[in-house]
Amino acid sequence: MEHRRKKISVIGAGFVGSTCAHWIAAKELADVVILDINEGAAKGKALDLAQAGPVEGFDAKIIGTANYKDTAGSDVVIITAGLPRKPGMSRDDLLSTNAKIMKDVCTGLREFCPNAFVIVVSNPLDAMTYVAYETMKMPKNRIMGMAGVLDTARFKMFISEELNVSVEDIQAIVLGGHGDTMVPMPRHTLVGGVPLTELMPKEKLEALIQRTRTGGAEIVGLLKTGSAYYAPSASAVQMAETILKDKKRIIPCAALCEGEYGYKNLFVGVPALIGGSGVEKIIEMKLNDEEKRMLDSSAAAVKDLVEALKKLS
């Protein structure tokens, strides 16, 4: 039996895409194809990253291209293509431009790697995952959006800073759409096994939740010329690794709900069991009335975007 390295194609050679390639190569997770309509950018970044191999001691073949043919045989595809936010923009402002880009990308992918697992990172995240699903016509377990991992990482980092404890001892989860309506779950957050609600006064906790919701905008406001890329790319690569290594981790991500939590035909952030078959199962948490109300309002915001998309096309 021929043993081959895994292959991950990253669509978009911007900051998120190239940093995805960096994490993948450094972990020796797979060979990498960086694809961008700007072929020079894709080839240049691939060459530069490959030349870090001798220094860092990683063996991974990295190529840059503008041709979808080079993605053939990909095990996983991470889609980061699209415009990033500028200060004052919401993720939703990117809707029509990025929907068009997403359709073009997925048409190319459908031809050359129809059996890959697809992780969408482009904003507005939940709606773009829906566009990819509709365009690729693939089974729902093979497509997911990266948002919950990032939002949860931000929430954990803020908690660790506030309590002065290691991020490794925090277990948390953030549900809902990847936007201002996201739903951090303090009642389900543990610090070294101790419920967060016992360690922090309510108003402090509220402030951290609000900061988590606007975590992306905070970075956009500071950078002024783009949006976050280290944590988003690390989050997407963690999802890819979970699939490739069949880890069976429970990860919050945008998955297609067909009845779960009462939502139909909607991609929204829920806890999902991710393994070698992609989204293997959506876990239904027992939510109290307030949590359910917040999740419903988040799902409604995502639904509005998807409806707006349908009017555009």
Cα separation, 179 vs 53, in Å, equals 36
Residue in 3, 22, 178, 188 annotated catalytic: 178
Q: Give catalytic status of residue 178 as yes or no.
A: yes
Contact (CB, 8 A) for 58 and 271:
no
Chain CA centroid to CA 280, Å:
17
Cα–Cα–Cα angle for 30, 103, 66, rounded to 5 degrees: 50
Active site (catalytic) residues: 178
